[in-house]
A and B are shown apart, each in its own frame.
Chain A
Amino acid sequence: MRERILGGYDDFVLPFMTGMAFILIYLFIGLIRIFRHMPAQDRTRFFKSLLSPSIMLKNAKDIVNDCLLHVKIFKRNILLGYMHASIALGWFMLIVIGHIEVALYVPQRNGILYYPVFFRYFVKQEGALTLKGSFFFFLMDFFLLIVLSGIGLAIYKRFRSRALGMRRTTRPCLADRIALACLWSIFPLRLLAESFTAGIAGGSFLTKPMHWLFSNFLSNDLHILPTWWAYSIALGVFFLALPFSRYMHIPTEAFLIMLRNAGIKASHPRKGFAEAEIYSCSSCGLCIDACPMNVNKRNLKYSSVYMIRFLRRRNEKKTKAIADKCLMCGKCVAVCPVGVESCNLKRAHRATRYNTLQYNYSYLGNGSHPAHAHADTQDTPDILYFAGCMTHLTPSIIKSMEEIFKLSGSKYVFADKDGGVCCGRPLLLAGKEDAAREVIARNSQLIQTSGCSKVVLSCPICLKVLKEEYKLQGIELLHHTQFINSLIKEGKIKVKDGGESLVYHNPCELGRGCGIYKEPQEILQQVGELRKGEYEGKESICCGGSLGSLTLSYEERGKITQGSLNALTGCNPHKIITACPLCLKTFAEKSPVPVMDIAQIVKENIYTNTYETYSL
């Protein structure tokens, strides 16, 4: 293999180089902007993370899994995963092998940006093909074929997205269309260009036969140059359109992964970390199908992907509308292949607008509290039961929990028996950060001075905020599903199979919010026949009652509730079981079958009689 063009340059590389220079400068400025807008402690945190081997290892793993292999998308749909992985991995390998070829055969051209890209134009095959040469030729053709198969699928998906597991996809904007047209043409043009030069530079199973085919009717070598020009222009235009299109996620996603692994969260809806998230959104539209609001077709426009699009374009009015409408159920975050935490962006956006009201929380005071009754004595109960205000609206849950505490012989203090202070999550969701901090401080103080080592909560909304925002050192936080499950496992209570078929509705705040999936399932398998709903685990859909939305009307909420109920009752259960007082209240109004909290069904099926326990 020898250099064919003296000086290693031809004018056709200019479009590519222009695009490349543009995108590199753009990315560099973007990087500086993100660092500048980030709070100082986040910046330090990021640089520190680069020194931690465990985080770096995780970074490498996540980048390979998410950016190259697209494991998350594979899990969702094999074809869709293959489409993404083939293009990403194939393209990446073409670049890597291109560089290896340059380093091996024309080491004097090392470091020239365009050289590996147009390698086949600049070199000439001399003498017989060596094994090493044919190996690289094979690899290059192989990965080109992989990429081409991905492009083929992508084109097919544009017309029939359903075949790849997507009911709805996003509407592309102009820059998207330009970049898309370039992306679709880059690799076919590359194949064409390399096939024309295969007679000079050599090729393998793909380019060689193409060359023979072409040489039968296009014998003149003059058509080589125009195809290389076209290939270079497609690449150049793609890079020029990149920052304005959805494909910006290709260069930014890896950076986002590193920021996220460093433990940084969005503190502003548009700047710093948020900017990295916004540009990493691939606009794939998986969140459109996921959004529970889309039972109403006209709510399609409130999907997270559009919120991010409008944030990127700085369209305040539309961003605001979407940020306020969102239920904050977190399903779009759960399905997002890039892991954009759009709910945090929405919360941050609300905080920029609604954090202005003056609150007077002086009445919270420092008065005595039932939690302190035992604090100084020896017989401090271990458990602090925090029902939360939502649970106070569903007294049946409290009654059941009191019964379970009694029957299991657990000593506990009922923290908010006589009314408590809000946990702060509703305030946070509404953007009222300062007000939330005040109630959080008051509650933290109450819990910490109670002397209890465990807090059992009935409301997952409270649990989420206690876990994330309260700094409760050494205190274990348990949802009552976890607590009941441990009681059953330790044999402190015994339950029987009530003989009814049950379906479990996974509350957003418990499942996606706190990552609790296993315990409710384990309990329910013991008290009845647990059937599967249409959406299980992290795919669960909102009951419609979420506190998250600020503007959704009752009619629209009603439709979401109905949709969610339909998905649950498809398996014909006797009862719907949930583990959140808000879901319980919302469903109970519309459900065709009885709805119960998990605490209620456990209480119904508990052995109260010691004789019964022995006769087991």
Chain B
Amino acid sequence: MKNIVVIGGGPAGLEASAQLHRLGYNVILVEKSPQLGGHLAKWDRLFPSGIPAKDVLEKMVSQINGVKYFLEANVQSINLLHKSYNVILNNGITVLADAVLFTTGFDLFPAQKKEEYGYGIYEKVITNADLENWFKTKKDNRVTENPKRIGFVHCVGSRDEKAGNRYCSKVCCATAVKQACEIKQEFPDVEVFCFYMDLRMFGRGYEDMYLSAQKDYGVRFIRGRVSEVAENINKELIVKAEDTLSGKPIKVTLDLLVLMSGMQNCSEGTKVAHQLGIANAGNDGFFETKDAIYSQQHSTREGIFFAGACTGPKTLPDSLSEARAAAIEIHNYVKGIR
């Protein structure tokens, strides 16, 4: 039986493992954290239609029966032995794998790097992940009862050369619109502002969600970047931005500011990829695929495959499709089909 190692137990890793297992391979799934599901496990509901993340994750996990997975495990070393890869995990397990799939996903951009937005400095500044966690658990002292005004800052650490990330993180626009509507559901009287550069509502149903946010929820969209955030004596936030449509600087006082942190390549995954010499990719930090259009799942090395956000920001359906595609590509590779 052929061994396949899948690194990363997020949506892409789970889906690929399930598919490969069904194709008859011995799949070993490695996950660094104590639970499966990656970022999905921390999310409450999913855009565009608000499906609970828990339901999707449960479905995925139910499909991996028979897959060997290790939690709180890291790849300590990986190297090529003849035609297969010798993978050593930190829990002492060694696997001789015929193929290795990277589904290492992304890290959220650390919002404290944009110090001018005050994350970690002002009490009432949180990130998209923090808000999602609040939706899920309703536990966060920073989100107070009956807020009057709440703001969302798009593109935090995305499309920002100064922050080192020039690319668009793809999912934050839709996430912000979704979260803005959800916050209105929680607090119907709150005024919600979204500060955006462009709204990239590319997917099916996204534009409807955006229209509904304006029409049904009354979310105010302001085109312009936030320049700086200050705190007054009541711990309220004073946000200064430019409304580029009216050409005027604006200033609003908010009770909560949500920063839409973008994606960057997973640092743990990059460390593993370094050992194979495939980490130093484009200057955006994501892994380079063999070909930008035709061979999206192949790395530049034989037997190493990619799926999901490790090759650039992706939506959840994108990652799942890639996972299935990767399973087929790996199958073809192991069977020697070109």
Using a CB–CB cutoff of 8 Å, the interface residues on chain A facing chain B are 392-396, 398-399, 417, 419, 554-555, 558, 585, 588-589
Q: Are B115 and A394 in contact (CB under 8 A)?
A: yes
How long is the Cα–Cα vector from A555 to B285 in the complex, in angstroms?
A: 13
Q: How far is the CB of B306 from chain A (nearest CB, A)?
A: 25
A393 in contact with B162 given A399-B121, A588-B115 (CB within 8 Å): no
A393 in contact with B163 given A399-B121, A555-B283 (CB within 8 Å): no
Q: Which residue of A lies closest to B229 (CB)?
A: A395
Q: Which residue of B lies closest to A390 (CB)?
A: B116
Interface string of B49-70 (1 = CB under 8 A from A): 0000000000000000000000
Q: How far is the CB of B142 from chain A (nearest CB, A)?
A: 16
**Interfacial chain A residues near B229, Cβ < 8 Å:** 395
Q: How far is the CB of B122 from chain A (nearest CB, A)?
A: 7
Q: Are A395 and B115 in contact (CB under 8 A)?
A: yes
How long is the Cα–Cα vector from A398 to B118 in the complex, in angstroms?
A: 12
A395 in contact with B163 given A419-B240, A555-B283, A589-B113 (CB within 8 Å): no
A393 in contact with B161 given A419-B240, A555-B283, A589-B113 (CB within 8 Å): no
Q: Which of B83-133 contact A (CB under 8 A)?
A: 113, 115-116, 118, 121-122
A395 in contact with B113 given A554-B161, A555-B283 (CB within 8 Å): no
A395 in contact with B230 given A588-B115, A589-B113 (CB within 8 Å): yes
A392 in contact with B228 given A585-B115, A588-B115 (CB within 8 Å): yes
Question: Chain B contact residues: over half helix, strand or loop, or mixed?
Answer: mixed
**Interfacial chain B residues near A589, Cβ < 8 Å:** 113, 163-164
- Known pairs A392-B228, A394-B116, A396-B115. 19 more at Cβ < 8 A? A392-B230, A393-B116, A394-B115, A395-B116, A395-B118, A395-B122, A395-B228, A395-B230, A398-B230, A417-B230, A419-B240, A554-B161, A554-B162, A554-B164, A555-B283, A585-B115, A588-B113, A589-B113, A589-B164
**B182 sits at the interface (CB 8 A):** no
How long is the Cα–Cα vector from A558 to B164 in the complex, in angstroms?
A: 9
How long is the Cα–Cα vector from A130 to B229 in the complex, in angstroms?
A: 87
Q: Which residue of A lies closest to B240 (CB)?
A: A419
How long is the Cα–Cα vector from A393 to B231 in the complex, in angstroms?
A: 13
Q: Are A392 and B163 in contact (CB under 8 A)?
A: no
**Interfacial chain A residues near B116, Cβ < 8 Å:** 392-395
Q: Are A395 and B161 in contact (CB under 8 A)?
A: no
Q: Which residue of B lies closest to A585 (CB)?
A: B115
Q: Which residue of A lies closest to B231 (CB)?
A: A395
How long is the Cα–Cα vector from A393 to B240 in the complex, in angstroms?
A: 11
Interface string of B313-333 (1 = CB under 8 A from A): 000000000000000000000
**Interfacial chain B residues near A555, Cβ < 8 Å:** 283
How long is the Cα–Cα vector from A554 to B113 in the complex, in angstroms?
A: 16
How long is the Cα–Cα vector from A312 to B82 in the complex, in angstroms?
A: 64
How long is the Cα–Cα vector from A588 to B116 in the complex, in angstroms?
A: 12
* Max chain A Cβ within 10 angstroms of own Cβ: one of B118, B122, B229, B230: B230
Q: Which residue of B lies closest to A581 (CB)?
A: B115
Q: Which residue of A lies closest to B238 (CB)?
A: A418
Q: Which residue of B lies closest to A553 (CB)?
A: B161
* Max chain A Cβ within 10 angstroms of own Cβ: one of B115, B118, B229: B115
**Interfacial chain A residues near B162, Cβ < 8 Å:** 554
**Interfacial chain A residues near B283, Cβ < 8 Å:** 555
Q: How far is the CB of B143 from chain A (nearest CB, A)?
A: 21
Q: How far is the CB of B116 from chain A (nearest CB, A)?
A: 4
How long is the Cα–Cα vector from A394 to B112 in the complex, in angstroms?
A: 11
How long is the Cα–Cα vector from A572 to B134 in the complex, in angstroms?
A: 40
**Interfacial chain B residues near A399, Cβ < 8 Å:** 121
Q: How far is the CB of A365 from chain B (nearest CB, A)?
A: 14
A to B CB contacts below 8 Å, 10 in the list: A393-B228, A394-B116, A395-B118, A395-B121, A395-B228, A395-B229, A554-B161, A555-B283, A588-B113, A588-B115
How long is the Cα–Cα vector from A554 to B159 in the complex, in angstroms?
A: 13
Q: Which residue of B lies closest to A397 (CB)?
A: B115
Name the one of A393, A417, A419, A558 contacting B115, with C-beta atoms under 8 angstroms.
A393
Q: How far is the CB of A398 from chain B (nearest CB, A)?
A: 8
Q: Which residue of B lies closest to A584 (CB)?
A: B115
Q: How far is the CB of B105 from chain A (nearest CB, A)?
A: 22
Q: Which residue of B lies closest to A558 (CB)?
A: B164
Q: How far is the CB of A590 from chain B (nearest CB, A)?
A: 8
Top 5 closest pairs, chain A to chain B, by CB? A393-B116, A392-B228, A554-B161, A394-B115, A395-B121
Q: How far is the CB of A560 from chain B (nearest CB, A)?
A: 14
Q: Which residue of A lies closest to B120 (CB)?
A: A396
How long is the Cα–Cα vector from A610 to B118 in the complex, in angstroms?
A: 31
Q: How far is the CB of A555 from chain B (nearest CB, A)?
A: 7
**Interfacial chain A residues near B122, Cβ < 8 Å:** 395
Q: Which residue of B lies closest to A392 (CB)?
A: B228
How long is the Cα–Cα vector from A417 to B228 in the complex, in angstroms?
A: 12
How long is the Cα–Cα vector from A398 to B164 in the complex, in angstroms?
A: 25
How long is the Cα–Cα vector from A509 to B144 in the complex, in angstroms?
A: 43
**Interfacial chain A residues near B118, Cβ < 8 Å:** 395
Q: How far is the CB of B109 from chain A (nearest CB, A)?
A: 11
How long is the Cα–Cα vector from A444 to B121 in the complex, in angstroms?
A: 32
Q: How far is the CB of A39 from chain B (nearest CB, A)?
A: 39
How long is the Cα–Cα vector from A395 to B232 in the complex, in angstroms?
A: 12
Q: Which of B126-163 contact A (CB under 8 A)?
A: 161-163
**Interfacial chain B residues near A554, Cβ < 8 Å:** 161-162, 164
**Interfacial chain A residues near B240, Cβ < 8 Å:** 419
How long is the Cα–Cα vector from A352 to B304 in the complex, in angstroms?
A: 57
Q: How far is the CB of A608 from chain B (nearest CB, A)?
A: 19
Q: Which residue of B lies closest to A586 (CB)?
A: B162
